[in-house]
Structure formats: structure tokens, C-alpha cells
Amino acid sequence: MSLTEAQAEAEHLPEQPPGVPGKGPWRLAWERLRRDRAAMISLAVIAVIVLLALLAPVFAAITGHGPQDQFPSEGVTPEGLPVGPSATFWLGADGLGRDLLVRMLYGARISLFVGIVSTLLATVFGVIIGMVAGFYGGWVDTLLARVLDVVLSFPYLLVAIVLAAVYGAGLPLLIFVIAFFSFAAMARIVRGQTIAYREREFIEAARSLGAGKVRTMFVDVLPNLIAPVTVLASLLIPTSIVFEATLSYLGLGVDPRTPSWGAILYEATDYYRVAPGLLLFPALMLLITTLAFNLLGDGVRDALDPRADRR
Amino acid sequence: MTLLEVQDLRVTFRTPDGDVQAVRGVTFAVERGRTLGIVGESGSGKSVSTQTLMGLTRGAVVSGSARFEGKDLLALPPDQLRRLRGAEISMIFQDPLTSLHPLYTIGWQIMEMIRIHEPSTSKEQARKRAVEQLALVGIPQPDQRVNDYPHQFSGGMRQRAMIAMALALNPKLIIADEPTTALDATVQAQILDLMARLQKEFDTALIMITHDLGVIADMADDVLVMYAGKPVEHARRRELYYAPHHPYTVGLLESVPSATGDKTRLRPVPGQPPSLLSPPAGCSFHPRCRYVMPQCRVDEPPLPAGQHGSACWLPSDLVGIGPEVAARRQEASRAQRD
Amino acid sequence: MLSVTDVRKYFPIKEGLFIKKEVGRVHAVDGVSLEVRAGETLGIVGESGCGKSTLARCITGLHHVTAGRIEFDGKDIATLDPKAFRRDVQMIFQDPYGSLNPRRRVGSIIADPLKIHRIEGDTRKRVQELMALVGLNPEHYNRFPAEFSGGQRQRIGIARALALNPRLVVCDEPVSALDVSIQAQVINLLTDLQDQLGLTYVFIAHDLSVVRYVSDRVAVMYLGQVVELAVGEDLYKTPRHPYTNALLSAASVADPDLSAKRERIVLMGDVPSPINPPTGCRFHPRCPKARERCVAEMPLLIDSGNGHLTACHFPVQPGEHLTSEHPQIQQQSTEPQL
């Protein structure tokens, strides 16, 4: 009757070499994601778009066209119409003789910035509020859940228009509005997930060890939320980008002189008969970007499939 | 007379991580009116084998044959297999809630099954038979309970309803997959009693799949022990319990605390079952075997036919549990090593 | 060491859209008194819904009791410093898959209690010691639970429970989710740890032979109450409560001859709902010995000598023959729920 006997009973297994850190759920998810062709292509596309956005000043330098620079002589035909794609204006110019390509690339900076920052904000607030509501339950939950219901039933476009009218359009307001209307969706999902996890035995185990609520929430619940949150966040980014474009199109976005996809599209409406590229290129860019984020989000969801982490 | 004869059944599932060889060559036969117990731990392939016979493992790569009254179940077109299922062969599962439809009454489900297989039955006749079936399995007030939904039944009652349904068309073979695992001891006793009684009454053959050696001890005439997708030993019931040969069977029997209150140290099987993605070479039990010999790591022992067979290289006269046999086995494996 | 006095735990059932009204109560634990002595293993058996797991959670302070007192070392646990109490009383859970956070490394899971209780020292060294103690490879501390098998995960849970050097460990069905051969490994480990570390166990299970094997004394629970409590061998050889008799006779044993010799007392019906438990003796609707008195009056847990406690008006005498027949007595308001 020795302890070593019981230990030996468990031991002699064909083991992997010791000391090797285990392939964690994240590593495994990454490996699954890498096998997903659509997701990997999307990731590459997003990387290219980000790179292009970062390199916007370089393009401006090469072409010699700043994003705000107007070229009334080269960019506009004598009849006053925008020129088409050429060696100097690679994708053509707009009605004021500004370089479309350069403006689109600068616009990508705004779109990506707004998309990512507002999603980050929405995620942080959504996770905290959803987790607190789900974990504490009771009246805290009832109150927060009702607040979320109210937020989700707001006519968001109307609110955005009113806010823009009252406070004046601008980037911070834009980000705030987008984040405000997407955090509720995040909070709702997080709340549901938290309620499901609250009943799991490992949460009970943490309680039996004497862990406090805040610790349990951050140490035990949060890591399990990362998967669904990542998926939702990667789907929120394209939504936010489209939201930004919509608001900018309506003139509620950033300063109209600053290039942004929505603003470019709005300006293009005057000329789309003579210069379809003016409408086509930014619309295509918007489509490709949102599609890539959506496909990546789908891929991430499949890779993080909870059914795969049981065994 | 042999009712079902399974020959070298193999089932493989393709997964992104590789091929899972869930069943790796299973051969057994079921006689009319007898009970075959298939015992094994999780992942031994005991459930997958019978599910495959019933065409319930979609997407799996299957080979081998399963002759049921001369017809090969594995080669049968799906519609013919469907006709057989329920009428000639029926199944009882561990969790009746997953196999009973939650939105239809118990009675409707039994009636529907009767009418699918015997279209000439009128609604009233089918209903009458459903009530009779429920009475047969000991459900009180069957003429009222026939209108209940599955969630209105308790766990034991649901399992009775499942049995009523399985017996409704008087099948020749019933496959019961862990039928009492989800039930409490006193209810398990009721259900096992019922199954044994009805089996005798209708002369049905039964395949009883379970991990519980106690259930097998009560129910089975013949026993097949499975490990890592393969049968390792088959024998008549008493022989298996009192004169087992395969070290895995011995290990299983010694792992269970004795029913007589003996408190000597348990002798568990060390280690864990192997991965079915890459089963070990030779005998698949060799990494956990106390008596492993050099040959075991290379050659796979065959499972001899006949009344008692054990897929093990140890001499066949080293049979039974207990210190003496164990010592003689130890000696035999040492002799082979030298 | 631990004494439980008339503990009750009711769970309210609430209904209503905005304002939740209590519409009923689940009487999960309904007046349990028992004590746990230092160094012993107290087994608690019963079928699902008998309240054994709820009792475990009351003892470990995971549930607040509705009424009654639980004392540890003579002090009411409701007034004890929760952190100090947790250090002394720990719990091992049933589900080796659910009780470990899948997103955290094993080393960090086992280190949890050390961090929560701010215990100084080399945490990794302590974690590795604990892993070695329970038979895990200490080098595997930075793996994730998914990489371990069920038995190994249960060892991780045991290591976590032992990290604070507790004196009392409550094991809630620690082996019932494991395969037979793995069960024996974990049982051996638990008994060895008890010897080495001088632990006291409350061991909860539905498997009668496992409880008999590990326990010094055994309590049998039915519908939230202890119906019989005695030294293990006493209880198994001369059970006095009719329910204990039925439970013991119903359990299947891995021994065909022994099983065939036994006379089964098959109980009627299922366990009644704990929302509206029967009047008088909770067992009377299913009891073969029930009489009018059992319907009206709740029996107390009385010592019949040698510390053998039974809660029954008409306990079974040695040599008495219990039938499976249920007597027709005046059923008052409580129909047996079938």
C-alpha cells in the first residue's frame, strides 16, 4: 500500500516528451483557421488593405497628389467633367479634380480606424456590462437587460442625425454613436454566455476554493468568453465600417473635406453617368473590405467551434 | 439457430485530425432467443458496431458483412433497411428523451410506427395495440397515459415506453444500447426484469450493450468483451466471470469492488485506452498489459472461434482470476521474454 | 469533526414575468442530522434526487442552508471566517470535464487555491509536488485540460482540492463519470492519499459497491432524508430499512452466481417528486411493509444498538422475508407518482 503504487498505475503511458507546453485551445484554433482557405484569403486581403491605408502618403508622394489637392486643369476635362483613369490619375479624378486613388486610400484609414476603434470600445463595454449582468444576476441583471433592450430598439440612424445636428459632425461623435449602438449586441451575447458558464462546475469549483466574484469573473469566465467575443467583434468591424460610410454619405460623418468612403460615394453620385469608376471603385473597396472581414469572422467562428474543445 | 452473423466489421470515421478506426474487425453471432452482452469502456467501439448495422453511422467507411436471416444488412439498400428497422430489428437507447419526439404523444408515436410498417392497420386498431403495448410494459392506466407527451413521463417510464415501442412489431432482434445507464438502481432493476421477462415471452434475441459488468452478469447468455475497437474475448457468461483469459477481461473484473465487501486493494488496469487515430502495433492492449511479451508488441493475436476465445498470446490453459493463475501467467510471460 | 444538525435546504420555484412569485419549493434536503468523525470515510448513497449532492454543497458552504446547523470543530460554519473554513474543507467534483476550466493551463488551475489564499512560496514547485502526488507527470503543468483523459482530469481536480492541505474532503461522485478500469485507479489513489495525509472523507456515490469499498460508515438517503446510517458492514449485511433492503437487492453485481442467488425486491414506481414529498414516512408509497402509521407519522432516526440508526416504524428483522408486493393501505392525499 504505497502511494508510489497508485502513482505508477497512472503513469506508464506512451507520453509525449515532457516539458513541451501543451497545444492550447488558441493554438489549435489557429491551426484550424490556417486550413480554412476562405479565411486565409480574407486575412491576406485585409492585410493588403491595411498596408495600402498605411502607405497612403507614399502613394500621394509618388503621384504628387495630396488627398485634398485639387487639379482643375489636369483632373477635370475642359467640359468640367472628371477625367478617367490615366498614367497620372491611376483611378481617375473626381469632380473637383482630386485623385480618386489617393483619396480612397486616405479614406481607408478613416474607415478602418472608425471600424476598429468603435468595435474595440463596443467590445470593452459590451463585455463588462454583459459579464456583470450575467454573473451577478438578480436585479442587476434585470436592470441592465432592460437598458440593453431600450438601446437595441432605438432608431439609430435618427439618433445619429439628431446628435450630429446638435453637436456637429465629427470623428469622435461618429465613433461614439457607432460604439453605442453596437455594444448592446455584444453585451447581450456576453450575458447569455456568462449565464451558461455560471452554471458550470468549474465556477462552482472556484467558489469552493474561496475565490471572490470579481476574480472568478475575470479569471474563470473571461477566458471562455474570448471565443464568442472574437467572433462577434470580427463581424462588428464590417458593420461599423458600413455604418460609418452610411453616416458619411449622409454628411453626418467626418469633415466633408476629409476623404472617407461614404463621402467619396456621395460626391460620386453627381458624376456616375460620365465617370462610373468614381462610384464603382470605392463601392468595390467597401464591398471587398466588409466581405473579407465577414469571411474571416466566419472562419474564426468555425475555428473556435466549442464542440472541438471537449476532447 | 443463428439469427445475425457479423463478420469482420470495420468502421472508420474520417476527421480533420486523421482516420478514427472506431471498429477494427468485429465478428460475432447472435442466436435466436438468446442474449449477447457486449461489454467495453467508452471508445471501445461497442455502440458504433451496432449503430453501423442499423445504418445509423452516416459518413463512415464500413466494410465486412452482417447477415441477418441471410440478408447482408451492410449491403441492403436504405429503403429496405428502413423497413427492417423497427419491424424485424429494433433498438432501445440510453436516453429515451433523444429518441422519442418531444412534440408528439407517446401513443401517436407507437401508432405511427405500427402504421408505417403495417399500412393496412386502421387507426383504431393501432391505438388499441399501442394501449396493449403500454400495459405490457407495466405502465399504469395505459388508456390514459397513451395520450401523454414524453416529458410527462419519468425516466423509468420513458424507458418502458421505449421498450413498448421496440416490441410493438414483435421484432426478432432487439439491440439495447446502455438501456439502464441513465436510471437509478431500483428503476434499473425494474427495467432489466421487464426486458428479461418480455424476451422470454416473445422469444426475441437481444444484444445488450453496456459498460456495466453487473448488468451483463444478470442478463447475458454470451458475452463479448471489446477493447479499442476489437473484440478481445468471447465466452459463455459464467465462463467469462469465473474463468476469464484475456488480461483485459481480468483487469475489468478486478477493477470492480467486490460484492462481498472484501476490502483488499483494487487492481486497476494501469494507463489509459489508446487513441483510435493510431492504435498501438501488435496487441492493442499491450501498453497496459501486466503480462506483455515481446511477441505482443509486434504480432496481433487472433480471436479464436468456438465457445470461448481470447485474443491473447498467453497459453490458453492460463485461465481464471486469482493469485495462482496470475503467478503462472507472470511466469509464462517471463519465459517468453528470455 | 463535522456535525450536521437537522439541516434543511429548500429551493424556491419562482414563476412570473416581472415580479417573481414563489409557487413551490423543492425539498432537496429535509432534516438531515449526522456527524463525520476525524479520519473516517462517511459514505452517502442514494438515487438521483435524494439530496446527497445538495447535502455535500451545504457541508462545503456552497449552499446556505435554509434551516439547521452545520458545525466544523464545534463552530457553526455560518459564523466561521469563510477563507479559513475553505482551507480545511475542500471538494472533489463529479464531472472531470466540467470541473476544470478548458481555457486555462493545468498548472494555473492547480495553483488557484494557492493564489486565492495568498500562500507564499514557490508556487510552481508546490504545483509540481501536487501533480506528482496524484500520479500526474509534473512536467505537464503547462498543458490544457483537453489534453488529458477523464481519469487524469479527475487527478487534476484532486490535486487542486489538496493544495491547501484540507482536513475534510467532500467527494461528490468522484468516479461515476469514469470508465471501470479508471475508476479503480482513482479509488486507490483516494484511499492512499487518506492514509498518507490523514484525510477525512465524505464520499458520495450512487454505486453501492464503491461506497462499501471506501467507507467506514454509510448513510442511505431517500428524498432528502437519511433513512439509515450504520457501520458499512452492518448496513450491507443486516440492512434494517426496507428501502436499504430494496436498494441493495436491486444493485446488479458483477458475479452471475451471486446475482442469481439473490432475491430481488422490485419496488413499485419511481421516486416521488421532492416538491410535494409524501406525508409521514417518505418511503411509504413504495414500501412493501407500509401501514397506516407510516402514512401519518414521520419515523425518527433511532439507534437500534451499535450505532445502527434507522428511520422506520417497522424495521426489517434479520431473516425476515421482504416481498415485492405492495400492501393496499389507506392512501390519503398522496398517490404514488408513477
Given B224, B252, B277, the domain boundary residue is: B224
pLDDT digits (tens, 9 = 90+) for A245-271: 888 887 777 676 778 888 888 877 777
Residues in Cβ contact with C296 at an 8 Å cutoff, skipping those fewer than 6 apart: C279, C280
B71 - beta bridge partners?
B68
C275: in domain: yes
Q: Residue C284, Cα to own-chain centre: how many angstroms? A: 23
| Length of chain C in terms of residues written | 338
CB of C216 less than 8 A from some CB of B:
no
Residue C322 lies in a domain: yes
Separation of alpha carbons A204 and A225, rounded Å: 17
Q: Which of B180, B200, B224 is the last residue of a domain?
A: B224
Give the integer Cα–Cα distance in Å for B335 and C10.
Answer: 64
Mind listing the pLDDT tens digit of every residue in chain B (338 residues)? 789 999 999 999 887 778 889 999 999 999 988 999 999 988 888 889 988 988 888 888 999 999 998 889 998 888 888 888 888 899 888 877 777 888 889 889 999 888 888 888 898 999 999 998 898 888 888 888 889 888 888 888 888 888 888 888 889 999 999 888 878 888 888 888 888 888 888 889 999 999 989 899 989 999 999 999 999 999 999 999 999 999 999 999 988 888 777 888 888 888 888 888 888 899 999 999 989 899 999 999 999 888 899 999 998 888 888 888 888 888 888 887 77
Q: Tell me: do B87 and B132 sit in the same domain.
A: yes
Which residues of chain A have a CB within 8 Å of the CB of B287? 12-14
Q: Does the CB of A19 have a partner CB in chain C at under 8 Å?
A: yes
Task: Say whether both B152 and B19 belong to one domain.
Answer: yes
In which domain, by residue range, is B143 found? 2-224
Q: Does C337 touch chain B (CB under 8 A)?
A: yes
Domain that holds residue C332: 226-232+239-338
Q: How many CA atoms lie within 13 A of B161 on its CB side?
A: 30
| pLDDT tens column, C6-19 | 888 888 887 766 66
The H-or-E segment that residue C225 falls in is strand C225-231
- Shared domain for B6 and B87, answered yes or no, is yes
C-alpha angle B66/B69/B70, rounded to 5°? Answer: 70
pLDDT of residue A93: 76
For residues B148 and B130, give the distance between their C-alpha atoms in angstroms, rounded to a whole number: 12
Q: What is the pLDDT of residue B112?
A: 87
More confident residue, A86 or C255: C255
B:119-178 residues touching chain C, CB 8 A cutoff: 139-140, 154-157
Closest B-chain CA to C177: B42
**Burial of A147 from C-beta contacts in 10 A (0-12 / 13-18 / 19+):** middle
Q: Are residues B173 and B38 in the same domain?
A: yes
Contacts of residue C27, Cβ cutoff 8 Å, sequence gap at least 6: C8, C10, C223, C224, C274, C275, C277
Nearest to A1 among B265, B271, B280 (CB): B265
Tell me whether residues C184 and B157 touch, CB distance under 8 A: no
- pLDDT, tens only, A27-63: 778 888 888 888 899 999 999 999 998 988 888 888 8
Cβ atoms of B232 and B250 closer than 8 Å: no
* Lookup: cell for B61: 467507411
pLDDT at A17 > cutoff 60: no
Q: In which residue are the cell numbers 472556484 written?
A: A206
Instruction: Please check whether residue A202 touches C, CB under 8 A.
Output: yes
Q: Specify whether the CB–CB gap between C288 and C327 falls below 8 A.
A: yes
CB environment B110-127: b (16+ within 10 A), e (fewer): bbebbeebeeebeeeebb
CB-hemisphere CA count at 13 Å for C154?
A: 24
Mutate to test the interface with B, among A1, A5, A13, A30 (most CBs of B within 10 A): A13
Q: Would an 8 Å CB–CB cutoff place B217 in contact with chain C?
A: yes
Q: What is the reported pLDDT for C58? A: 92
Which residue does chain A place closest to C101, by CA atoms?
Answer: A202
Of C106, C113, C188, the CB nearest to A209: C113
Identify which of A1, A8, A13 has the shortest CB distance to residue B272.
Answer: A13
What DSSP character marks residue A67?
Answer: S
Contact C209 B192 (CB under 8 A): no
Q: At what angle do helices A156-167 and A222-249 cross, to 10 degrees?
A: 70
In chain C (338 residues long), the average pLDDT of successive 10-residue segments reads 88 72 83 91 89 91 89 87 87 88 89 88 90 89 85 92 93 89 90 93 91 94 93 90 90 84 78 84 88 88 86 85 66 45
Strands (DSSP E) along C1-72, which ranges? 2-15, 21-36, 41-45, 67-72
Residues in chain B, total:
338
The number of distinct structural domains making up chain C is 1
pLDDT in tens, B188-218: 888 888 888 888 888 899 999 999 898 999 8
Q: Is residue C312 part of a domain?
A: yes
Same domain, B241 and B217: no
Specify the pTM: 0.81
A:B CB pairs within 8 Å: 19
B287 and A35: CB-CB below 8 Å?
A: no
Mutate to test the interface with C, among A9, A149, A222 (most CBs of C within 10 A): A9
Residue type at C252 in one-letter notation: S
Q: What is the CA radius of gyration of chain B?
A: 21
Give the CATH number for residue B206.
3.40.50.300
Report the Cα B161 to chain-centroid distance in Å: 20
Q: Is the pLDDT of residue A6 over 60?
A: no
**Nearest CB partner across the interface for B186, out of C256, C258, C267:** C267
Contact B62, B36 (CB under 8 A): no
- Per the DSSP assignment, residues forming a β-bridge with B224 are B38, B234
Report ipTM for this prediction: 0.83
List, as ranges, residues 93-152 from C with C-beta within 8 Å of A.
93-95, 97-106, 112-113, 116-117, 132-137, 139-140, 142-144, 146-147, 151-152
Kindly state whether residue C200 falls inside one of the protein's structural domains. Answer: no
Beta bridge partners of C303: C309
Query: Can you tell me the distance from the alpha carbon of B234 to that of B40, in angstroms, rounded to the nearest whole number?
Result: 12
Please identify among residues 32-71 of chain A the ones whose CB lies closer than 8 Å to any CB of chain B: 32, 35
Q: What is the dihedral of CA B132, B135, B139, B144, to 10 degrees?
A: 50
Let me know if residue C335 belongs to a domain: yes
Query: Are the beta carbons of A10 and C155 separated by less than 8 Å?
Result: yes
Interstrand relation of C200-205 and C217-222 (parallel, antiparallel or unpaired) = unpaired
Give yes or no: residues B236 and B217 share one domain.
no
In this structure, are B151 and B281 located in the same domain? no
CB atoms B256 and C180 under 8 Å: yes
pLDDT of B129-180, one tens digit each?
999 889 888 888 888 888 988 888 888 888 888 888 888 888 999 999 988 8
The residue among B224, B245, B278 that closes a domain is B224
Please tell me the distance from the alpha carbon of residue B326 to that of residue B117, in angstroms, as a whole number.
54
Judge: A9–B16 Cβ closer than 8 Å, yes or no. Answer: no
CA distance A34 to chain B (A): 13
For residue C53, which residues of chain B lie inside 8 Å, CB to CB? none
Q: Out of 1.10.3720.10, 1.10.20.60, 3.40.190.10, 3.40.50.2020, which CATH number does the structure's domain A51-75+88-306 have? A: 1.10.3720.10
User: Distance between CA C336 and CA C338 in Å, rounded?
Assistant: 6
Exposed, middle or buried, A33 (CB in 10 Å: 0-12/13-18/19+)? middle
Nearest to C104 among A18, A209, A223 (CB): A223
Contact C180 B41 (CB under 8 A): yes
The residue ranges of every structural domain in chain A are 51-75+88-306
User: Does residue A13 belong to the interface with chain B, where contact is any CB pair within 8 Å?
Assistant: yes
**Residue A200 at interface with chain C, using a CB cutoff of 8 Å:** yes
Domain count across chain B? 2
Phi-psi region of C65 (alpha: psi -120 to 50; beta: other; left: phi over 0): beta
Q: Are residues B183 and B303 in the same domain?
A: no
For C272-329, write each residue's pLDDT tens digit.
888 888 888 989 888 888 888 888 888 998 888 788 999 999 888 877 777 766 666 5
Measure Cα distances from C185 to A303, C90, C165 in Å.
35, 21, 22
| Residue appearing with cell numbers 500520479 | C135
Contacting subunits of A (3+ beta carbon pairs below 8 A):
B, C
**C274 domain-assigned:** yes
Give the closest residue to B54 by CA, choosing from B185, B175, B197, B235.
Answer: B175
Cα separation, B307 vs B245, in Å, equals 13
